Amino acid sequence: MDTPVGPREQSESTDSAAQDSYDVIVLGAGPVGQNVAARARAAGLTVAVIERELVGGECSYWGCIPSKSLLRPVIAVADARRVDGAREAVSSPVSVQGVFGRRDRYVTLWDDTGQANGIKEIGAELIRGHARLHGTRRVAVATSDDELVVLTARHAVAVCTGSTATLPDIPGVSQARPWTNRKATDSSEVPAGLAVVGAGGVGVEMATAWQGLGSRVTLLARGHGLLPRMEPFVGELVAQGLTDAGVDVRTGVSVTELRRPGGAGPVTVTLDNGTELHVDEVLFATGRTPNTADIGLETVDLTPGSWLDVDDSCRVTGTHNDWLYALGDVNHRALLTHQGKYQARIAGAAIAAAAAGRRLDRTPWSAHVATADSHAVPQVFFTDPEAAAVGLTAHEAERAGYRVRVVDVNIGESVPGANFYADGYTGRARIVVDLDGGYLVGAAFVGPGISELLHSATVAVAARVPVDRLWHAVPCFPTISEVWLRLMEANRDLQEERRP
Amino acid sequence: MDTPVGPREQSESTDSAAQDSYDVIVLGAGPVGQNVAARARAAGLTVAVIERELVGGECSYWGCIPSKSLLRPVIAVADARRVDGAREAVSSPVSVQGVFGRRDRYVTLWDDTGQANGIKEIGAELIRGHARLHGTRRVAVATSDDELVVLTARHAVAVCTGSTATLPDIPGVSQARPWTNRKATDSSEVPAGLAVVGAGGVGVEMATAWQGLGSRVTLLARGHGLLPRMEPFVGELVAQGLTDAGVDVRTGVSVTELRRPGGAGPVTVTLDNGTELHVDEVLFATGRTPNTADIGLETVDLTPGSWLDVDDSCRVTGTHNDWLYALGDVNHRALLTHQGKYQARIAGAAIAAAAAGRRLDRTPWSAHVATADSHAVPQVFFTDPEAAAVGLTAHEAERAGYRVRVVDVNIGESVPGANFYADGYTGRARIVVDLDGGYLVGAAFVGPGISELLHSATVAVAARVPVDRLWHAVPCFPTISEVWLRLMEANRDLQEERRP
């Protein structure tokens, strides 16, 4: 992008600190902050982006980017091993050094020069420092040069500060120095024994990666299944895959204490069932805390440390909804990079419209409303097998009052494309059909190679395509996508059964 | 399926041969014939299926099934080799014996017992023999027991006899005994030098497979690009991939003569540019001929050997449109297994409705109309890179009079999920937007791992999802599907440029 830097105007001030005005001020230069900055710049607005750590954020350096660069080699080798004729070509496990080298390259060795230049290239100002709200439309920045700069936003301030791993409040936790997503993605040493606490996306993905890299992983899930936000069968097949890979999967257990005398060496993990584990590292993947404790929320009558409630244009609800936006993890709508970027596109369009004096279009699914956040959030976990879902689970749909038909199919013998992909394929799929609307409100898939298949369901759910029309969306033979044919046939058969 | 066999009724006859009546008679037990039989049985109709060769047809024994079982090991190894950390685990090429063993298993050693049982299990009668139409609603079968049986269809006869490879009429062709799709998929010997003539789907896939299995392949394309029915850039990247794999790709050349003295040993291939090739086998993948030369078309005033024109319910047009259906390759609408199966579902529903005295719903996209055949035919080639497209190319759309916007993006740096899939990813995507309708009329993708991505485009094209709504179909980070985000962003930018 070669948009020139917009004009910077000085506004009057009584502060002694340096002061600048921008149309839009963005707190946090992760993918979400970058996207909202880009949209504002594209609308001709001046933009400052403030980042206290690395430009690119958690996702680029300790999230999806390193985790997926670690996972893919593990899956690629597993995929080849599942195919007769290819299996014989694989003689050894993944190269650990090769994998770490790959990860280091994708995180650019935790150097953010390239992404910082990206901010400048769109014509936004990048300010390095710690930003705090400083009353209405104002932001105080403690810069990395130890200066205090107070900035004024003419139109909007967007809080895109993300979240941090939550550590449980149990005895011994601080001395044990447990891993979080950060160490789990930037380590270049493979712990011989690794306990992974938490069976959500981070937990199962990191269990997959580190087991693949040679750790003996024990996965500890508090609930009775993995990936509790997806359909139960998804977690069941992922648990089976982890077990097959050698992971010790234990469900229904909680960690009550950690012991690591001296803060180094082996860790003893005490579980609530009275057993103990002896491992080399413990990873906690047990939730996220919003990065809102020290961003000056108190200066605008909001509660420090809280998630920020927003409307569907991502404006913070309450008294500040004409200028204060919260995007990405901090608004707690969907803690996913892609959904944060979506919010940034929507809010960016809304900010641009408001700045130009245009009325926001508040119709659902319009350009200024992040409607997908409540109806069509997709998610993929790059486990083995892969897990993917969009929209509501059957249980969620029923609880929300939908009258639904649940259609399940096994992805195996009946889908030739699946068997070509992997000999002896095991997988499963579900669609949840709203009987009154006649369209899908949710879909879930689990099996090798299904990650790219999810978007077909996302289009169907987000666009509310009638199932009668999906009948004409012919999946290619022989792709795994033919699971859609089996789903549509099973749906038709259930539909016909209901008729007299 | 455990539907019981329906009643067989004898109808009166003046023929001396045995005679039976069925509600529906199906000529050909490939996937298309099997599907229309299943739909008719599900509606409670009696069905006879006649097959002169193997139950399962060309697709099961000499088409997609063996070709994809040969291709997948080659691609799985190539995929692993593209990923640092996995690459090091691969020490040798595919195991040729492993691949052939895999293929043999998927074609059940060319034994159709299982599929024949499948026909019986749905309660249809399987008759082995050569079927010929014998006037209106009648079919004469020369059975494999050397009997002649004349059957009468109460409601419908469905011709699902498929097609056969076309051989060119050039000097030396019969003595050279060239390969067609049959030998290219059932051979268990790897020719050292193989010339593949034809750059459509069969040609490029078989060039990929046999080069991967160790042949030195020369691909001879008459036109100036490969895969001429897809967007030009698709064929360009596939040509690059074949070249990188070691295939000698020659475009703009035709074969004028073959010489194989004695019908064995090396083959000399003469090209129209005056050069000669010396190879061990020649594969012709230069088109298909309908299997209609000897099926009694003359008894119902149709031309033997011709493709059969049908309406959108797949009824043969002309005087026989109340009982004679033609499905799959023979109707020349789309020579693809999945599209033939789709036609079978549609025609099966139409036959059932007509048999029950219900009026057909002739509205486009209804249950009795194969509308997707003319708007949303998907196709995937399992080459390296994979190639996939649905709907119209830009050129086809313009020629059809659409006012279109063509949106192109490279799948590389801008799509992190692509790079995770394969280091140094190269790929490309296009959508063709109907500016008046506001929806996609076509899409094309080329790159590693994109085959399962196509169905998202098929849903969008078949359901005519407005591009404004696709904006809310958020692709998951970091999947290759995020190419959709780049396409949508590029479309928005082009749209905004058009505004004053």
- Claim to verify: residue B251 and residue B144 sit in the same structural domain: no
pLDDT of residue A497: 78
Co-location of A147 and A216 in the same domain: no
Q: Give me the sheet containing A267-271, strands edge to edge.
A: A255-259, A267-271, A276-279
Residue pairs between chains A and B whose CB atoms are closer than 8 Å: 304
The CA distance from B36 to B40, in Å, is 6
Task: Write the CA distances from B217 to B77, B237, B384, integer angstroms.
Answer: 19, 17, 15
- Rounded CA-CA distance A376/B300 in Å is 53
Distance CA B269, CA B278 (A): 6
- Residue B351's Cβ-count burial label (10 Å; 0-12, 13-18, 19+) is buried
Q: A73 vs B64: CB contact, 8 Å cut-off? A: no
* A465 in B contact zone (CB under 8 Å): yes
Tell me the residue range of the domain where A224 lies: 181-287
Q: Which two tokens stand for residue A419?
A: 């068997």
Residue A499 is predicted with a pLDDT of 64
Q: What is the model's pLDDT at position B9?
A: 37
Question: Quick one: A45 and A132 in the same domain?
Answer: yes
B30 shares a domain with B159: yes
Cβ contact B304:B328 at 8 Å: no
Residue ranges of the alpha helices (H) in B257-326? none
Whether B490 and chain A come into contact, CB under 8 Å, resolves to no
Whether A245 contacts chain B with CB within 8 A: no
Residues A185 and A157 reside in one and the same domain: no
Query: Considering CB atoms only, which of B85, B452, B472 is closest to A453?
Result: B452
Position B499 confidence tier, pLDDT thresholds 50, 70, 90: low
**CB-CB under 8 Å, B91 with A85:** no
Peptide bond into A261 cis (omega under 30): no
Give the pLDDT score at A139. Answer: 98
* Contact between chains at B85 and A94 (C-beta distance less than 8 A): yes
Best CA proximity match to B387, nearest among B446, B452, B456: B446
Residue of B nearest to A481 (CA): B452
- The partner residue sitting opposite A473, judged by closest CB among B77, B450, B463, is B463
* Distance separating alpha carbons of residues B32 and B310, to the nearest angstrom: 15
Distance from CA of A140 to the nearest CA of B (A): 32
Q: Which of B68, B106, B477 sits opposite A64 (nearest CB)?
A: B477
Q: Answer whether the bond into residue A478 is a cis peptide, omega within 30°.
A: yes
Q: Please identify, among A372, A404, A424, the residue that sits at the C-terminal boundary of a domain.
A: A372
Domain count, chain B: 3
Under DSSP, the state recorded for B179 is B
A60 inside 8 A of chain B by CB: no
Residues sharing a CB contact under 8 Å with residue A496, sequence separation 6 or more, in sequence order: none
Residue A202 zone, left/alpha/beta (φ > 0; ψ -120 to 50; rest) = alpha
Cβ of B419 and A73 within 8 Å? no
The predicted pLDDT at position A14 comes to 39
Strands of B306-438 (E only): list them.
324-326, 378-381, 386-391, 404-410, 428-434
Using CA atoms, how far apart are residues B388 and B381, in angstroms rounded to an integer?
6
Q: What pLDDT is recorded for position A241?
A: 98
Report yes or no: A440 at the B interface, CB cutoff 8 Å: no
Choose the mutation target among B477, B493, B495 for the interface with A, i.e. most A CBs under 10 Å.
B477
Q: How far is CA A307 from the centre of its chain?
A: 16
User: Could B79 and A84 be called an inter-chain contact, meaning their C-beta atoms sit closer than 8 Å?
Assistant: no
| C-alpha distance from A255 to closest chain B C-alpha (Å) | 31
Give a yes or no: residue A123 inside a domain. yes
The interface residues of chain A toward chain B in range 386-425, judged by CB-CB distance below 8 A, are 388, 416-417, 419-421, 423
Average pLDDT of B339-343?
A: 98
Q: Pick from A74, A87, A478: which is nearest to B98 by CB?
A: A87
3-class DSSP state for residue A379?
strand
3-state SS assignment for residue B248: strand
Q: Which residue has the tokens 């799709």?
A: B181
For residue B109, give the 3-state DSSP assignment: helix
Range name among A130-139, B403-412, B464-473, B490-499 with the lowest pLDDT average: B490-499
Task: Report the candidate in B51, B35, B55 with the shortest Cα–Cα distance to residue B347.
Answer: B35
Q: Do B278 and B311 reside in the same domain of the chain?
A: no
For the segment A439-455, the average pLDDT, to the nearest whole number, is: 98
ipTM above 0.90, yes or no: yes
CB–CB contact B88 A95 (8 Å): yes
**Predicted model pTM:** 0.95
User: Judging by DSSP bridges, how do beta strands A148-159 and A18-27 pair with one another?
Assistant: parallel
The pLDDT value given to residue A23: 98
Give me the CATH number covering residue B417: 3.30.390.30
Mean pLDDT of chain B: 94
Structure tokens at B411: 């799948």
Tell me whether A453 touches chain B (CB under 8 Å): yes
Q: Which helix (H) or strand (E) holds B282?
A: strand B281-284
pLDDT at A483 over 50: yes
How far apart are alpha carbons A317 and A321 in whole angstroms? Answer: 5
Distance CA B329, CA B161 (A): 8
> Does residue B201 surpass a pLDDT of 80?
yes
The whole-angstrom separation of Cα B208 and Cα B200 is 12
User: Residue A150 has which token pair?
Assistant: 């107070």
Could you tell me if residue B82 is inside a domain? no
pLDDT value of residue B497: 78
Cβ B473–A463 below 8 Å, yes or no?
yes
Of B102, B381, B448, the residue nearest A87 (C-alpha): B102
Tell me, yes or no, if A439 comes closer than 8 A to chain B by beta carbon.
no
Q: Are residues A241 and A270 in the same domain?
A: yes
Q: Which residues pair with B9 in a beta bridge?
A: B21
Residues A208 and A275 in one domain: yes
Q: Name the pLDDT band for A318 (thresholds 50, 70, 90).
A: confident
- Residue B260: inside a domain: yes
**Rounded CA separation B190/B103 (Å):** 14
Question: What is the model's pLDDT at position A289?
Answer: 98
Examine residue B96 and state whether it is found in any structural domain, yes or no: no
Nearest to B42 by CA among B151, B117, B137, B124: B124
**Percentage with pLDDT > 90 across chain B:** 93
Nearest CB among A89, A341, A453 relative to B92 is that of A89
Q: What is the CATH number of the domain that holds B304?
A: 3.50.50.60
Q: What is the pLDDT, as a whole number, of residue B44?
A: 97
Q: What pLDDT was estimated at residue B12?
A: 37
Chain B closest-CA separation from residue A153 CA (Å): 26
Interface contact B462, partner A, CB < 8 A: yes
Res. B255 pLDDT band, cuts 50 70 90: very high
Are the CB atoms for B15 and B93 separated by under 8 Å? no
Residue A83 lies in a domain: no
**What confidence score (pLDDT) does residue A13 get?**
37
Residue A3 pLDDT greater than 50, yes or no: no
The answer to whether residue A136 is domain-embedded is: yes
* CA-to-CA separations, B161 to B55, B128, B284, B292, in angstroms, rounded: 11, 13, 21, 7
Whether A133 and A201 map to the same domain: the answer is no
Interface test with chain A among B373, B479, B497, by most A beta carbons within 10 Å: B479
Of A16-25, A387-396, B37-46, which range is least confident? A16-25
Q: Which chain A positions have a beta carbon within 8 Å of B477's beta carbon?
A: 31, 59, 64, 336-338, 341
pLDDT number for residue A413: 86
**Are residues A355 and A295 both part of a single domain?**
yes
pLDDT score of B5 more than 90:
no
Q: Which of A156, A135, A124 minimizes the C-alpha distance to A327?
A: A156
Q: Which chain A residue has the Cα nearest residue B478?
A: A64
Given B286, B308, B334, the domain boundary residue is B286
- Out of A95, A97, A376, name the one closest to residue B473 (CB): A376
Whether A105 is in a domain gets the answer no
| Mean of the per-residue pLDDT values of chain A | 94
Task: Give the mutation candidate from B345, B476, B484, B487 for the A interface (greatest A CB count, under 10 A).
Answer: B476
- Helices within B158-251 (DSSP H only): 173-176, 181-186, 201-212, 232-245
Sequence letter at residue B446: V
Nearest Cα residue to B271 out of B228, B227, B221:
B221
The pLDDT of residue A9: 37
In a domain, A75, yes or no: no
**Residue A248 CB coordination number (10 Å):** 16
Q: What is the mean pLDDT of residues B313-340?
A: 94
What is the chain B residue with the closest CA to A96? B85
pLDDT at position B413, please? 85
Is the model's pLDDT at A500 over the cut of 80?
A: no
Average pLDDT for A77-92: 97
Model pLDDT for residues A171-197, shown as the tens digit of each residue: 999 999 999 999 999 999 999 999 999
Cβ-based contacts of A416 with chain B (< 8 Å)? 64-65, 68
**Interval B431-444 mean pLDDT:** 98
Q: How many CB atoms within 10 Å of residue A362?
A: 12
- Identify whether the C-beta of residue A122 lies closer than 8 Å to the C-beta of residue A55: no
Indicate whether A1 pLDDT > 50. no
Q: Name the β-bridge partners of A390.
A: A378, A443
Are A395 and A349 members of one domain?
Answer: no
Which residue, chain included where needed, has tokens 């060039």? B207
Give A-chain residues touching B450 at CB under 8 angstroms.
Answer: 452
Residues A162 and A53: their CA atoms lie apart, in Å, by 12
Distance from CA of B152 to the nearest CA of A (A): 29
Q: How confident is the model at residue A202 (pLDDT cuts 50, 70, 90)?
A: very high
Q: How far is CA B436 from the centre of its chain?
A: 31
| Contact state of A475 with B481 under an 8 Å Cβ cutoff | no
Q: Copy the structure tokens of residue B176.
A: 């050279």
Compute how many other C-beta atoms are within 10 angstroms of the C-beta atom of residue B322: 12
Going by their DSSP bridges, the two strands B439-447 and B386-391 should be labelled as: antiparallel
Would the pLDDT of B11 be above 70?
no
pLDDT at A17 over 80: no
Same domain, A197 and A242: yes
Helix (H, G, I), strand (E, B) or coil at B364: coil
Helices (H), B336-482: 337-355, 372-375, 394-399, 416-421, 454-462, 467-470
Question: Residue B17 pLDDT > 90, yes or no?
Answer: no
Q: Which of B234, B266, B286 is the last residue of a domain?
A: B286
Query: Peptide bond before A73: cis, by omega within 30 degrees of 0?
Result: no
Strand order in the sheet with B386-391: B378-381, B386-391, B439-447, B428-434, B404-410
Q: Answer yes or no: do B470 and A477 touch at CB < 8 A.
A: no
- DSSP letter assigned to residue B161: -
